[in-house]
């Protein structure tokens, strides 16, 4: 009887565990505010190869960030933790009054990122008194202290206003970052810390047709429909943002690549090369602010694929943890790279998993005699994970 009860209890636990919340909702205190965030961890892992900090857009939430990009597959393939914090509501009553005057604009979640709204009628900075860069840095430190995460692989992704916040964090705390990604965001005109930033690899996506965060930094607000349209500055022109980081990173002249046209949208990729701190800008034409690029939907460019390539190019090796880095350093663990039909390993046996550049698992198999067959893979770039002897190594594989 006791044995039957024990079995039932174990089954109930297994059932509950299989549906355990992931990401999990958590809170942290900072500057007198209780701050909320979501934390996602890949399953069946106790040590993690890196951390992604995801920043949602204006009046949005961490749940929306997960929903918009679906980065959990990328996190699983790279063995990365994702932390997605929530911005505070606007704290200034004066700003709230202006928002109400301009049309009952809600300010439920607003980053303190230097975003200033400027026109002939007003000049207001959103959440001017909130040190969100300091909050993010404290949150990152908390996650690193509570989980076994390789601190040398730290990436920031911001969407829309989250892109503003990513740039704001990168200025005072860029020395901690392996790279930052901004999607449909820019730098606010009141951004702080422009004087002495650390060089940071930058990956920026923005459309010339963006109707919310204008590519030029200047949009228009309809004060009286059909009567009065008010020019409004919402950020720095994207050309100025890119020029700033190219200069700061001492990057080279742009290399230009055209993606195939898809759904009536064109994309140019500008790569400003540097051995460690490149700047990449994807300039779209024909895409609206909230458009999500995906090859599966007929687009010539894919957000997730390009983001994973950027991550893979800026992974840092740490022999004390499980992260591995660029191709020339991966020979410590597997070779040849590029590979023809066979990949060889430094360990005798283990598990070898291969993912495409969107984080989709292609196959996972055991290997023996220090080798695995990859002849079935098409030529291209892949993310691989090798598990052996209690270690999990993540890297990039080139297949000839």
Q: What is the dihedral of CA 363, 368, 373, 377, to 10 degrees?
A: 20
Q: Is 350 helix (H, G, I), strand (E, B) or coil?
A: strand
Q: Which H or E run contains 117? A: strand 116-118
Query: What is the structure's pLDDT at 358?
Result: 77
- Cβ-contact 258, 266 below 8 angstroms: yes
Kindly report the backbone phi and psi dihedral angles of residue 235, in degrees, each rounded to the nearest multiple of 5, phi listed first. 170, 180
pLDDT in tens, 251-263: 999 999 999 999 9
pLDDT at residue 137 greater than cutoff 80: yes
DSSP 8-state secondary structure symbol assigned to residue 260: P
Instruction: Report the residue count for the chain.
Output: 400
Question: Global pTM?
Answer: 0.80
Residue with the two structure tokens 């002849």: 375
Taking a C-beta distance cutoff of 8 angstroms, is the pair 248, 227 a contact? no
In CATH, what class is 327-399?
mainly beta
Question: What would the pLDDT profile of 34-77 be if each residue is shown by its tens digit?
Answer: 999 999 999 878 889 999 999 999 999 999 888 878 788 888 88
> Structural domain boundaries of the chain?
20-313, 327-399
Least confident of 6-20, 225-239, 303-317, 339-353: 6-20
Q: How far apart are CA 252 and CA 250, in angstroms?
A: 7
CA distance 38 to 83: 6
Cα 314 from Cα 317, distance rounded (Å): 10
pLDDT band for position 3 (cuts 50, 70, 90): very low
- DSSP alpha helices (H): ranges in 122-275? 132-146, 161-173, 238-249
Provide the pairing of β-strand 33-40 with 255-258.
unpaired
Residue pair 109/59 in contact by the 8 Å Cβ criterion: yes
Question: Is it true that 20-313 and 327-399 share their CATH fold?
Answer: no
- Residue 70 is predicted with a pLDDT of 77
pLDDT, tens digit, 9 for 90 and up, residues 203-253: 999 999 999 999 999 987 665 555 456 789 999 999 999 999 999 999 999
Q: 20-313: what fold?
A: Rossmann fold (3.40.50)
User: Does residue 20 have a pLDDT over 60?
Assistant: no
Among residues 161, 195, 157, the alpha carbon closest in space to that of 177 is found at: 157
């Amino acid at each position: 009887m006791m044995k039957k009860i024990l079995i039932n209890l174990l089954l109930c636990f297994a059932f509950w565990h299989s549906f355990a919340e992931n990401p999990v909702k958590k809170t942290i205190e900072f500057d007198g505010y209780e701050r909320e965030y979501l934390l996602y961890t890949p399953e069946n892992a106790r040590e993690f190869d890196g951390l992604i900090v995801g920043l949602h857009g204006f009046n949005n939430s961490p749940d929306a960030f997960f929903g918009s990009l679906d980065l959990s597959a990328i996190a699983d393939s790279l063995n990365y933790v994702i932390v997605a914090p929530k911005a505070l509501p606007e704290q200034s009553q004066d700003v709230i009054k202006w928002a109400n005057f301009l049309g009952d604009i809600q300010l439920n979640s607003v980053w303190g990122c230097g975003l200033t709204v400027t026109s002939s009628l007003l000049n207001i900075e959103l959440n001017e008194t909130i040190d969100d860069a300091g909050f993010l840095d404290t949150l990152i430190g908390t996650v690193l202290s509570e989980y076994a995460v390789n601190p040398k692989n730290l990436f920031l992704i911001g969407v829309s206003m989250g892109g503003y916040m990513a740039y704001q964090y990168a200025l005072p705390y860029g020395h901690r970052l392996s790279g930052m990604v901004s999607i449909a965001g820019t730098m606010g005109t009141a951004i702080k810390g422009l004087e002495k930033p650390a060089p940071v690899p930058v990956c920026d996506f923005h459309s010339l047709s963006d109707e919310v965060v204008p590519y030029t930094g200047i949009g228009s607000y309809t004060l009286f429909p059909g009567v009065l349209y008010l020019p409004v500055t919402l950020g720095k022109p994207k050309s100025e943002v890119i020029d700033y980081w190219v200069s700061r990173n001492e990057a080279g002249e742009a290399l230009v690549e055209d993606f195939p046209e898809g759904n009536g949208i064109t994309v140019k990729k500008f790569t400003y090369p540097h051995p460690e701190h490149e700047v990449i800008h994807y300039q779209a034409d024909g895409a609206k602010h909230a458009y999500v690029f995906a090859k599966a939907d007929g687009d010539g460019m894919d957000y997730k694929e390009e983001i994973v390539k950027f991550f893979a190019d800026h992974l840092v090796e740490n022999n004390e943890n499980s992260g591995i880095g660029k191709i020339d350093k991966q020979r410590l663990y597997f070779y040849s790279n590029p590979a023809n039909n066979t990949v060889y390993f430094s360990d005798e046996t283990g598990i070898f998993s291969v993912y495409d550049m969107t984080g989709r698992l292609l196959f996972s198999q055991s290997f023996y005699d220090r080798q695995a067959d990859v002849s079935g893979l098409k030529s291209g770039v892949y993310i691989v994970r090798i598990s052996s002897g209690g270690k999990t190594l993540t890297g990039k594989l080139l297949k000839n």
